[in-house]
Structure 1
Amino acid sequence: MEQSEVQALADKLDKLIERCQKLERDNAMLRDLQDDWNRERAQLMHKNDLAKNKIEAMIGRLRALEHH
């Protein structure tokens, strides 16, 4: 193998390594975003449950008032 072929192969390998590192960084960023979305979703579901419970309690009180 000639020196130029070895250098071309080394250059391609360097580019492949850079691309892999970029993909790893992108993947880590996407995982962080996914974690953020999952936390936000859990918070919204909790708020939704609280609101649902309050509404159900109000409906129960209104029904109790109707029967009196």
Structure 2
Amino acid sequence: MEQSELQALADKLDRLIEHCGKLERDNAMLRELQDDWNRERAQLMHKNDLAKNKIEAMIGRLRSLEHH
């Protein structure tokens, strides 16, 4: 193999290594975003459940007032 071919192969390998590093960083960032969204979703679901329970309790109190 000629020196120029070896150099071209080495250059391609360097670009591939750089690209892999970028993909790893992007993947880590996306995983962090996913974790953030999952936490936010859990918080919103909890708030929704609290609101639902409060509304159901108010409806129950209103129904009990109707019967009095």
Q: TM-score range by the shorter chain?
A: over 0.9
| Structure-1 separation of matches of 2:49 and 2:18 | 46
Runs of 4+ in 1 over 4 A off after TM superposition: none
| Structure-2 separation of matches of 1:25 and 1:36 | 17
Cα deviation per residue 1:27-62 (whole Å; 9 max; x = unaligned)?
000000000000000000000000000000000000
Shift of 1:5: 0.4
Where does the alignment leave 5 or more consecutive residues of structure 2 unmatched? none
Aligned length: 68
| Structure-2 separation of matches of 1:39 and 1:52 | 20
Task: Give the structure-2-normalised TM-score.
Answer: 0.99
| Structure-1 separation of matches of 2:18 and 2:39 | 32
Shift of 1:9: 0.1
Q: Percent identity?
A: 91
Instruction: Supply the RMSD in Å over aligned alpha carbons.
Output: 0.2
Where does the alignment leave 5 or more consecutive residues of structure 1 unmatched? none
